[in-house]
Amino acid sequence: MNETAHELEHERLCSRLSTIPGVDLLPSHGAWVLMKVSSPESVATRLNRDLFEGAVTVPQHLAGSIRIPVRSARENEELLKAVARVMRTPDADPDSELDEYRSV
């Protein structure tokens, strides 16, 4: 992805993430988007389970936040769906196998 396309995808991803209840975006640019969430470890665990291990990280220097990579439009659509699912049930047990985590 060239730099201009990446910047446009970053803007599109941030715009879409900002519409999800419970998501509070922090200033970010480049290859990552920072989000402030109430339970970063739990949210990251559930997103990594839905996407792939390491897709979402918890930065140690920014309390209460997670960091997600900006990828292709197709991959970002999967990420958006996963974030929406997880944020609908923010206090749920991250080890739960509830079907609602997997459906949109």
d(CA 49, CA 45): 6
What pTM does this model have?
0.79
Instruction: Please report which confidence band the pLDDT of residue 85 belongs to, taking 50, 70 and 90 as the band edges.
Output: very high
* Residue with more model confidence, 100 or 90: 90
* Residue with more model confidence, 36 or 102: 36
Backbone Cα Rg of the chain:
13
- For residues 55 and 44, the answer to whether their CB atoms sit within 8 Å is no
Residue 65 has pLDDT above 90, yes or no: yes
- For residues 35 and 62, the answer to whether their CB atoms sit within 8 Å is no
